[in-house]
Structures are given as C-alpha cells and as structure tokens.
Amino acid sequence: MFNSTIEKLKAFKRGYSVNRKHKMIGWFFVIPGALLIFSFYFYPIIRAFLLSMQGGVGNNLRFAGAANYQRLFADTLFKKSLFNVFVYLILQVPIMLTLALILAGILNDKTLKFRSFFRTAIFVPCATSLVSYAIIFRSMFALDGFVNTVLMNLNLMAEPINWLGGPWTARLLIVIGLTWRWTGYNMIFYLAGLQNIDPAIYEAAKIDGASAFDRLTKITIPMLKPIILLTTIMSTNGTLQIFDETKNLTNGGPANSTLSVSQYIYRLSFEYVPRFGYAAAVAFVVFIIVAILSFFQMKVGDER
C-alpha cells in the first residue's frame, strides 16, 4: 500500500514514462508534416468536395446538392474522356512497366559494359520538359515528319500515316510518348529494388539449374513485388490525370478521341463558360477512381 503510493509519486515526479516520452517526441516530429499535409492536401480535398456540390456558372454559384454528379451520367464528353484515359491506362501501364523491368534486369548485370551510360540515357527522357517533348513528338509524327520519312524510306509503307489524324493512331501516339517519357523513371525504382536482392539467391538458383526466365519469374518479380506495386499505383495515378501530353500533342483531337479527363476539367474551368462546381465534381470522380484502383492493387499485390 505504502510502496505503491511511493511508486506513483515517483512516476508523477518523472512526469511521463519513457515510453510515453518517446511517443511525445515522435509526435513532435510528425506534427509539422502532418499539419502541412492537412492544410495543403486534405483541406483542399474537402473544399473541392464542397465546391462540387455547387451549381451555376462563373461566380453565380448556389448549392445544388448532387446535381453535378447526376449531370456526369448524361455527359458524353466526360464519358469519352474517361474512356480515353482507360485506354491509355490499359495499354500503356503494362507495356511500360514490363519494359522497365526488362531494362532494369539487363542493366543490373554487372558485366555489362557502359552500364552507367545506358542507365543515364534511359533515364534522361524523364528529365525533359513535358511540353517540349510533346511538341517534338508532334513534329516527328507529322505527316511529312521524321517517323513517316524513315518508314517510307525503309519501304515499310507505301503511304505516310496521318498519326494525328486518326483516333486510334493519335491514341497510340500518346501511348508511345508516355512510354518514352516514363519508362526510365520506373526503371530506376526497379534498379534500386534489385540492389536489395542478395546475389547469393541467384547463385543458388543457378546451381540448382534455374533458367534465366525461372530466375525472373520465381525470384526477381516476387522479391520486387512491393516496388512493382508502388510503380503500378504511381503510373495509374499519373495516367488517369494525364494533361500535358494530350494538350500539347493532340489537343484532345481528332474529334475528342484523345481528350483526357484533366483536359476536360481545364476546358470546363478556363475555356468554356466556367462551371467550377461541375469541374470539381469531375475532379472528385477521378480522385475516387484512383482511390478504388489503388485499393484493389494493394489488395491484389499485398498478401500480408
């Protein structure tokens, strides 16, 4: 009885237990970041949601409830833009990530000559400006541009392809551009991941007679899983919000067949009669789609 009182008194004197103190210090470090994230991420998200409940044009906004979200279902342009970004997503993300993985595998080979040169060369595209590469692609793929000239001189084609003129060739062009720009970026993540795999595992596998393909599918990919998951989520997120490429390469054309959701939001806010509420609703739908897709990817990718 007496002893326990002393204990309590001692605890009171010390103020907080060591454990508690550690936690306090932890919070101390977390709080500035958390506050910044709250004020620059969560607060705008909440405000965007509130804005998406408002209808009307320009400054004449009034509360409209879910009217903006109902409007989405009737909006052919919104559906078209959503279809377009899913085309990019389904075509481009797997191609890019597979390529990045293969390139990372090749560049991880320590016997390869000029390794750092290749690594830099493949990474450089993602240090270029989005706008300038889009404009260069545009001129390269013009009717009398570089690509058509090369293809014709190689006698691969009789007539030049009007890349920017057809809906599917224009979409393909966006996919090619995106792949060129972002493969190196994802490759760097894989290369970093590969550094963490113990070479002894590969040696053991080789001794057991595993082929290169076996080593890739049974060792590399499973061990890189968390990083593959990370790159998939990042790429999905990036592709769904694509703006610069479609704006500068094709400007959404021909006949809106490359229009992306972000570009549609831009048009709704700054080119058309401004409907900020509706634009916010479109943006919010993209946010929800990204959240759902990321959730699924995490469920599929994470077995813990």
Partner 1 sequence: MNKKLTVLFFMVLMVAGFTTMTFAQEETTITVWCWDPNFNIYAMEEAAAIYGDLNPDVNIDIKEVAWEDLQTQLSTSLSANQTDNLPDIILMQDTALAKNVNSFPNAFYDLSDSGIEFDNFANFKVELTKVDGKNYAVPFDNGAAINAMRVDVLEEAGYTIEDFTDISWEEFIEKGADVKEKTGKPLLSAIAGQSDLLMIMMQSTGNWFFDQNGEPNIADNEPLKEIIRVYQELLEKEILVQINDWNQYISTFQSGTVAGTMNGAWIIGSIVPVEEQAGDWRITNLPRLANIEGSSNYSNQGGSSWMVMANSEKPEVAADFLDKTFGGSKELYEIILPSSGAIATYLPAGDSEVYNMPHPFFGDQKIYTEIIDYAANVPEVDYGIYNYEARDTISTAITQIMSGQDIQSALDEAQSTLEFQMW
Residue 120: count other Cβ atoms within 10 Å of its Cβ.
12
Closer residue to partner 1 in complex, CB, 105/252: 252
The binder of partner 1 chosen from 109, 273, 299, 303 (CB under 8 A)? 273
Helix (H) or strand (E) holding 102: helix 76-107
Residue 91: C-alpha distances to residues 131, 173, 214, 227, 262 (Å): 22, 12, 26, 20, 19
Which residues ranging from 94 to 153 are in contact with partner 1 (CB under 8 A)?
138, 142-143
213 vs 106: CA distance, rounded Å: 13
Closer by beta carbon to partner 1, 72 or else 216: 72
Please identify which residue in 5, 19, 76, 116 interacts with partner 1, judged by CB under 8 A. Answer: 76
Residues 167-206, one symbol each (x = binds partner 1 by CB under 8 A, - = not), give ----------------------------------------
* Min dist. Cβ of residue 251 to partner 1 (A): 8
Question: How far apart are alpha carbons 293 and 281 in whole angstroms?
Answer: 18
| Residues touching partner 1, count (CB under 8 A) | 27
Binding residue (CB under 8 A) for partner 1 from 109, 159, 208, 271: 271
Residue 301: Cβ-neighbour burial (10 angstroms; 0-12, 13-18, 19+): middle
Paired strand residues for 62: 55
* Residue of 137, 182, 276, 284 interacting with partner 1 (CB under 8 A): 276
Residue 231 main-chain phi, psi, to 5 deg:
-65, -35
User: How many Å apart are CA 284 and CA 278, to the nearest integer?
Assistant: 10
* Interaction between residue 74 and partner 1 (CB under 8 A): yes
Residue 34 to residues 43, 108, 195: CA-CA distances in angstroms?
12, 37, 32
Contact pick of 48, 49, 72, 77 for partner 1 (by CB under 8 A): 77
β partners of residue 63: 54
CB of 153 to partner 1, least distance (A): 21
Q: Which of residues 147-166 bind partner 1 (CB under 8 A)?
A: 164-166
Could you say which of 3, 5, 60, 129 contacts partner 1 (CB under 8 A)? 60
Read off φ and ψ for residue 208, nearest 5 degrees: -80, 0
Shortest distance (Å) from residue 30 CB to partner 1: 31
The binding site for partner 1 (CB under 8 A) comprises 57-60, 71, 74-77, 138, 142-143, 164-166, 253-256, 267, 269-274, 276
